[in-house]
Amino acid sequence: MAGGIDHLIINSPYEEPSRHWSYNRDKRQFHKAEGRRPAGYVIASSHSKSFDDPGIFVELPLVNQIRKRVKEWRQRGYPGVTGITKKLELAPIVDGKPDVTKLTQIDLEELGKRYRKQRIIFEATRDIYEQMKPNWQGNKEYLLFQLIKLVEEFIDSDKIWIPSLFDRDEFRSRLLITLNMNKVVHHIFEAIRFDNAQHIEPVFDKERPIRSTGDMMTWYTSKPCEITRKSHISHVVFDSTWEASEAFELERNELVDSWVKNDHLGFEILYIYKGVVRKYRPDFLIRLSNGKMLVLEVKGQDNQQNKAKQEALDLWVKAVNAHGGFGEWCWDISYRISDLKDILLKRGCLITVDGGFHNGRIQI
């Protein structure tokens, strides 16, 4: 999907990366960029529109200049290279321990023999099996057999993107997958977990199991804001004209009993994307006049990461509804300014009949 993250990019730590995912702060989208990621650091902002926004990037010109010279040296065939530099000191990576006393020069051919395709499949299967085994009620031998099949199909598929330089070399492809096995394991495990969940229970925070709008402390901002009438928070801060339009509709719509923008509230939903645990903060919490609680997300465009968030949000809502102690919850996504009325009408109906009445109005 254009502008979205839809596959893994595995770059070798010993070769020049050919592409990377870059974040466009204006469009609030990730896109694929050529070459290696520029060296630098990020200044995070607590007022970011999206938690996934990495913040303001500050480049380190000196490091990038050095990288450029190293790249030119590589393209010239490494003049002055010796036989020793053709071997990689991989012991700390393979063993997972940054112990300089255990550094050993490992010939790549020997490493390739150690990590053949079947070994990669069985080690990935083993890690997934160990995570699933405690809660698996069926035949464990059958589970292991099915996992081996799934892992083999995934590794042989086009779901893992590898630079063309390494994709043509089976050994280098195996090596890159081996060094990124943690991502592969998490990706497969999460897919299995979402597809096979039968019973969902919420897991409460031990220190603060229940949060409230009354817990929010006073904070200051220079962004435009407006006094609210239906929100427990006195003012709503606008990050965009889109948000201002949505807030205006929530204030005047008769289907809305109360609402709050999820800003400094601490309402977060954990999700896993590309093997990394992240936090997702939906935009609005809305109590509808029919008693339902609506979690509303404002998104201009969908991508793979947003889909991972939506799956986590859907799972969270199902868990809360299964608990039964917090009323009925639902969620939706606003892709355009004009669709909020329809979302509120769909979620805020008092009588649900196909082609029937919704709050005294006919649905067409």
Q: Given CA atoms 64, 66, 72, 77 in this order, what sign does their dihedral have?
A: negative
Q: Count CB atoms within 10 A of the CB of residue 306.
A: 23
Closest CA to 10 of 232, 152, 184, 137: 184
What is the distance between the alpha carbons of residues 334 and 306, in angstroms, rounded to a whole number? 13
Residues 355 and 236 in one domain: yes
Cβ neighbours of residue 92 closer than 8 Å, sequence gap 6 or more: 98, 99, 100, 102, 103
SS3 call for 260: strand
Question: Is residue 74 a part of any domain in this protein?
Answer: no
Residues 32 and 141 in one domain: yes
Question: How many distinct structural domains can be found in the chain?
Answer: 2
Residues 253 and 297 in one domain: yes
DSSP-assigned beta bridge partners for residue 182: none
DSSP-assigned beta bridge partners for residue 43: 56
Question: Is residue 313 a part of any domain in this protein?
Answer: yes
Would you state the pLDDT for residue 286? 93
Question: Is residue 178 a part of any domain in this protein?
Answer: yes
Residues 181 and 107 in one domain: yes
Domain that holds residue 220: 213-362
What is the distance between the alpha carbons of residues 102 and 92, in angstroms, rounded to a whole number? 7
Question: Is residue 76 a part of any domain in this protein?
Answer: no
Q: What is the CATH number of the domain that holds 306?
A: 3.40.1350
CB 54 within 8 A of CB 40: no
Closest CA to 223 of 283, 263, 272: 263
Residues 244 and 338 in one domain: yes
Residues 181 and 263 in one domain: no
pTM: 0.48
Would you state the pLDDT for residue 331? 92
Would you state the pLDDT for residue 108? 52
Question: Is residue 201 a part of any domain in this protein?
Answer: no
Residues 225 and 251 in one domain: yes
Residues 225 and 256 in one domain: yes
Question: Is residue 176 a part of any domain in this protein?
Answer: yes
Would you state the pLDDT for residue 303? 82
Run means of pLDDT, 10 residues per run, the chain, 364 residues: 62 72 78 82 62 72 81 75 46 42 47 67 80 73 80 77 63 71 74 65 78 82 86 84 85 90 87 80 91 88 83 88 89 87 80 40 34
The H or E element that residue 156 is part of is helix 140-156
